[in-house]
C-alpha cells in the first residue's frame, strides 16, 4: 500500500522557469511533510519541511504548499537552476511515529 505517491516519474523544466513537483498521500494521520533531493548513490539531502498546522513554508528558492483537504503537497522551485537536476522525494510522518514514509521520487531535469 503506497501511502505517499509521486505520480510523475520525471519532469523537464527550462532553466530560470518554475519547477513544480507534486505529491499525494492517503494516510490522514500524517502531520509532518518533507522534501528531499537525492543524487545516485548518495544520501537524501533535506530541502524543506512543513507541519500540518501550516499551508505554506518558504526557504529561499523553495516553497512547499500543503492542501490537507486534498491530501496533496507540492514543491515549487523558482528560479530553476541546472544544479537542481536530481531526484526529488517527498516524505511524511506523524508525531507519534517518526518513521518517514517516502514517495517513489520524481527525476527533475533542468534544461540550460
Residues in contact with another protein by CB under 8 A are 32, 34, 36, 41-46, 49, 51, 89, 91, 95, 97-105
Cβ nearer to another protein, comparing 12 with 97:
97
Cβ nearer to another protein, comparing 32 with 62:
32
Q: How far is the CB of 69 from another protein (least distance, A)?
A: 22
Q: How far is the CB of 50 from another protein (least distance, A)?
A: 11
Q: How far is the CB of 28 from another protein (least distance, A)?
A: 18
Q: How far apart are CA 97 and CA 93, in angstroms?
A: 7
Q: Note whether 99 and 106 are within 8 A (CB).
A: no
Cβ nearer to another protein, comparing 79 with 94:
94
Q: How far is the CB of 5 from another protein (least distance, A)?
A: 11
Cβ nearer to another protein, comparing 13 with 37:
37
Amino acid at each position: 500500500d503506497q501511502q505517499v505517491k509521486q505520480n510523475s516519474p520525471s519532469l523537464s523544466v527550462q532553466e530560470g522557469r518554475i519547477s513544480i513537483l507534486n505529491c499525494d498521500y492517503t494516510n490522514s494521520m500524517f502531520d509532518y511533510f518533507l522534501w528531499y533531493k537525492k543524487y545516485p548513490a548518495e544520501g537524501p539531502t533535506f530541502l524543506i519541511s512543513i507541519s500540518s498546522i501550516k499551508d505554506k513554508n518558504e526557504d529561499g528558492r523553495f516553497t512547499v504548499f500543503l492542501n490537507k483537504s486534498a491530501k496533496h503537497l507540492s514543491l515549487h522551485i523558482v528560479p530553476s537552476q541546472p544544479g537542481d537536476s536530481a531526484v526529488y522525494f517527498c516524505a511524511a510522518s506523524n508525531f507519534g511515529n517518526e518513521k518517514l514514509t517516502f514517495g517513489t521520487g520524481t527525476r527533475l531535469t533542468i534544461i540550460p
